[in-house]
Chain A
Amino acid sequence: MKEESDINLTRRLLVKTLMAGAAATMLPLSQAYGAASAIDWAAFFQKRFQELTPQEIGRLIIRLEAKYKKTYGRDIKVKTTPPIDNVEFAYALNLSKCIGCRRCVYSCAQENNLSRKPHQIHYIRVLRFQSGPIDFEKAQHYYDPREVPETGYFYVPVQCQHCRKAPCVKVCPIKATWTEKDGTVVVDYDWCIGCRYCMAACPYKGRNFNWAEPQIPPEEINPNTHYLGNRPRMKNVVEKCTFCVHRSREGRYPACVEACPVGARKFGNLLDINSEVRQIIETKRVFRLKEDLNTDPRFFYFFHS
């Protein structure tokens, strides 16, 4: 008998603890699910971008634009401009000219609607080196001089290198990232599951994760966006430089090229023998980062004063 009552007591205790615990759990969980219930089912069941028919893409864009209008109170255009035929984009950066001002960093953040807070994202990192060889282990990632350039230092900006043999594309378990026909490596933010395997695979830190819900002041939003590029993102997905896909496919330079005050940044079509990048690659001594990894980047560095 005694054992029986013990059991009942334990049972009652168990039920009580469970109820109390359940109540405590309900609060944050219900908040999370409250947010989830706001998500429409069309978004939940949305297919991977490359699998969508033109009709489905049309409906998707209408849905997204309506959603952004609601969120930011502004008309945001989401384009799906396809790659241009016979174009392979490439980038060339003149290290002799770079003064480390980081205007490229901030114009990129502005142009591409990068999260300002609570987690700040930058696609371009400008590394500062003391005069000498480029040894990443000695790179300074955060520097704050009164003015640039500083004597005794040089600067190496690094962003996504848009590799021909991109390790990030290879490892993605669900094909949420791929190389477009024009050579840009893009992400379908609506398909990414946030496993971050691509970030482990990238040798250049070319990818960023939205560790929290990205926040951008509505008045600072760039309303000219592309589905595969700078449209507003969501939390817990990976994003990256797309060579400003919303601009480059319309014959414009990426924002970083335009922002550079010293003309260190060059961009163009590798397949066009008269283009500036092609001329640089053919006439200057160019090099690429971590050539030994055989990632075959479309991003070249050179020295020319």
Chain B
Amino acid sequence: MKLFNFICDATREVIKGGPLYYSWMAFLLLVMIFAANSYGYQLEHGLLVTNMRDQVSWGLYIANFTFMVGVAAAAVLLVIPAYIYDFQAIKEIVILGELMAFTAIIMCLAFIMVDLGRPDRFWHILPGLGILNLPFSMLSWDFIVLNGYLVLNMLIPFYLLYTGYIGQEPNKKWIMPFIILSIPWAISIHTVTAFLYNPLPGRPFWNTAILAPRFLASAFCSGPAIIVLVFQIIRRFSNIKIQDAALFKLAEMMAYAMFFNLFLLVAELFKEYYSATVHLAPMQYLMQGLHGHNALVPWIWTAITLNVSAFVIFLLLRNIRNLKLLNIGCVMIIIGVWIEKGMGLIVPGFVPDTLGEIYEYLPSSTEVMVSLGILALGAFIYTTLAKVAIAIDTGRLRRQ
């Protein structure tokens, strides 16, 4: 009964809202409808409508998937200070971070779904119904850890919000093990995702032991950057209190992460360029172009410029506590990491291909539209979840 009330009240909270709220949701729905249209087109004509081909068989979808796994994993940067170090400013908002992780995983699964040639056969990978190639396939493992993380980040905020709604103290003994578990699990989702690309000997660009550390380092930059921006938007449009201290704490962690990220990039560049084996080719294609093909060169240099500038900004932020500067830094990091880890990581893995052919990939309009639709889906889901969470957190939504 209590649960039923909770669901009803939460639904009512989602349906109610001001003009701004409705316009925002309508806008997102509209984007999703256009994207559904594009996806229908892709279903009908096959993946030929993307710019992926046998030479570059993964593209924008898998790039976005990889980026979003990082966003999901980054929630751990709120969970650790909140629950392990009892950092009050972050404890107040950790639920919003967990909901972000939940949303990011939904988006990851959506990006996988649209990349699949045969979404109608999706059940083949469902445990129980289909067949998983365990322990060999890293994709089977990734599917398991992503779904596990999805469940954890559904269970934990739901429980905390529900107890808040019925006005009870959460039972720490019951929920803490799940929270603790979510920390290594967050690390695991991004590690296993790196392990998808990492162990393929035919793809020297990915076949490097520092790929997983690089993934984690960049995730701990871009994830919090998104959180910092979203939290300020939430603060503006609702009456929840989010202290600057929480934002600057995140900024501090991002500075460390970006240092480590850049350091790993330098290590990778040094190893490839100094040894200069045949495996240098994809790195050359990415950084300077290869045999006159240089589609990715402007992208990666944009990313490096943004990441290095953002790092300088985050160092300055230790002394100058300026929100505007913080936000500029965050935007730079999001774009920089998205390029570095998306287009800059997935595509060079395929260029030149295993037999030396160069096929220059840039996403088709269908791929761009479908990807925007999934971003809109994520924004839609997160808005509804955050709205309910804020209503309960501020005490506005309580069981009557």
Main secondary structure of the interface of B (DSSP, over half): helix
B residues in contact with A192, CB < 8 Å: 117-118, 121
Q: In the complex, A204 Cα to B58 Cα: how many Å?
A: 17
Identify the stretch in B46-54, B68-76, B89-97, B177-185 within 8 Å (CB) of chain A at 4 or more residues: B46-54
Q: Is the CB of B357 within 8 A of A139?
A: yes
Tell whether B360 is near chain A: CB-to-CB under 8 Å: no
Q: How large is the interface on B (under 10, 10 to 19, 20 to 34, 35 or more residues)?
A: 35 or more
Q: Is the CB of B25 within 8 A of A14?
A: yes
Q: Is the CB of B54 within 8 A of A193?
A: no
Q: Is the CB of A139 within 8 A of B355?
A: yes
Known: A137-B281, A194-B118, A195-B139. A171 touches B200 (CB 8 A): yes
Tell whether B223 is near chain A: CB-to-CB under 8 Å: no
Tell whether B57 is near chain A: CB-to-CB under 8 Å: yes
Q: In the complex, A141 Cα to B353 Cα: how many Å?
A: 11
Minimum distance in angstroms from A136 CB to a CB of chain B: 4
The one of A7, A139, A167, A208 that contacts B201, using a Cβ cutoff of 8 Å: A167
Q: How large is the interface on A (under 10, 10 to 19, 20 to 34, 35 or more residues)?
A: 35 or more
Q: Is the CB of A194 within 8 A of B116?
A: yes
Q: In the complex, A194 Cα to B281 Cα: how many Å?
A: 28
Minimum distance in angstroms from A259 CB to a CB of chain B: 21
Using a CB-CB cutoff of 8 Å, which residues 174-220 of chain A contact chain B?
174-176, 191-197, 199-205, 207-213
Known: A174-B131, A174-B132. A212 touches B122 (CB 8 A): no
Tell whether B41 is near chain A: CB-to-CB under 8 Å: yes
Q: Which chain A residue shows the least CB distance to B36?
A: A25
Minimum distance in angstroms from A94 CB to a CB of chain B: 20
Contacts A10-B26, A211-B48 known; list 18 others, CB within 8 Å.
Answer: A22-B33, A25-B36, A28-B40, A48-B124, A119-B48, A135-B356, A137-B352, A171-B137, A174-B124, A193-B122, A193-B124, A194-B47, A194-B116, A197-B137, A200-B197, A203-B354, A205-B55, A235-B117
Chain B positions near chain A (C-beta within 8 angstroms): 18-19, 22-23, 25-26, 29-30, 33-34, 36-37, 40-41, 43-48, 52-55, 57-58, 112, 115-122, 124-125, 130-133, 136-140, 143, 196-197, 200-203, 278, 281, 349-350, 352-357
13 pairs, CB–CB < 8 Å, chain A vs chain B: A7-B22, A13-B26, A14-B29, A17-B26, A32-B40, A173-B140, A192-B121, A193-B117, A195-B115, A200-B197, A209-B54, A210-B46, A213-B46
Question: Which 7 pairs from chain A and chain B are nearest by CB?
Answer: A194-B117, A236-B117, A203-B202, A21-B33, A136-B356, A28-B40, A173-B139
